[in-house]
Amino acid sequence: MRTLGIDPGTASMGWGVVEDDGQGGLRALGYGVLSTPKHLALPQRLQVLHRGLVALIEQFRPDTAGIEELFFGKNVNTALAVGHARGVALLALADASIPVQEYRPLAVKQAVVGYGHADKRQVQEMVRLTLGLEQLPRPDDAADALAIAICHAFVGPHRARSAEQ
């Protein structure tokens, strides 16, 4: 099973692809960020993100995907921008007929680290260990996307079975 994880954002959208290694573990197939130039207007930034995601989907052919749920913090403008990026990601996945599940940050941390209030460094280290990477994945958005992919690879099948019952 090949899983795409997405950490949405309009300036930088993290992505990570993991695959079952056939022995009960996971391996990273690729990760990075889709960045948009600051001088572009929002519609063009969203277009850049959409085109980038479509290219990643064509390259890696994921079977399923996980995406971070929208988190409303103190800054409403940031939440709106992330919402736009999430919409673009959900559209690209729907166009490719890839099933997607949404995860709260707390659930991702719980699945990856075992503790829902883990800090970024703890999450990154567990991502590194889980995937057998030599170094911490960088940048942070890519590490977050890998954590979402790991969470979905571990939790997604159980969620699907529960939904069927």
What's the confidence (pLDDT) of residue 161? 46
Marked catalytic residue, from 58, 102, 119, 141: 141
- Over 70: is that where the pLDDT of 110 sits? yes
Task: Give the range of the structural domain holding residue 83, as residue numbers without chain letter.
Answer: 2-164
For residues 123 and 104, what is the distance between their CA atoms, to the nearest angstrom? 14
The b/e string for 14-41 (b: 16+ C-beta within 10 A; e otherwise) is: bbbbbbeeeeeebebbebbbbbbeeeee
What's the confidence (pLDDT) of residue 158? 56
**Stronger pLDDT, 77 or 90, i.e. the higher one:** 90
What residues contact 148, with CB distance under 8 A and at least 6 apart?
5, 6, 7, 16, 66, 67, 68, 103, 108
Is 68 tagged catalytic? yes
Marked catalytic residue, from 58, 68, 134, 140: 68
Q: Model confidence over 92-108: pLDDT tens digits? A: 999 999 999 999 999 99
Marked catalytic residue, from 7, 21, 95, 164: 7
Strand partners, 28: 18
Average pLDDT, the chain: 91
Residue 16's pLDDT band, with cuts at 50, 70 and 90, is very high
Is 69 tagged catalytic? no
DSSP string for 12-45? EEEEEEEEE-SSS-EEEEEEEEEE--TTS-HHHH
**Stronger pLDDT, 77 or 52, i.e. the higher one:** 52
Look up the CATH number of the domain holding residue 121.
Answer: 3.30.420.10
Residue 162's pLDDT band, with cuts at 50, 70 and 90, is very low
pLDDT-wise least confident of 4-13, 62-71, 120-129, 150-159: 150-159
- Number of compact structural domains in the chain: 1
What's the confidence (pLDDT) of residue 157? 62
% residues pLDDT > 90 (the chain): 82
pLDDT average, residue stretch 121-144? 96
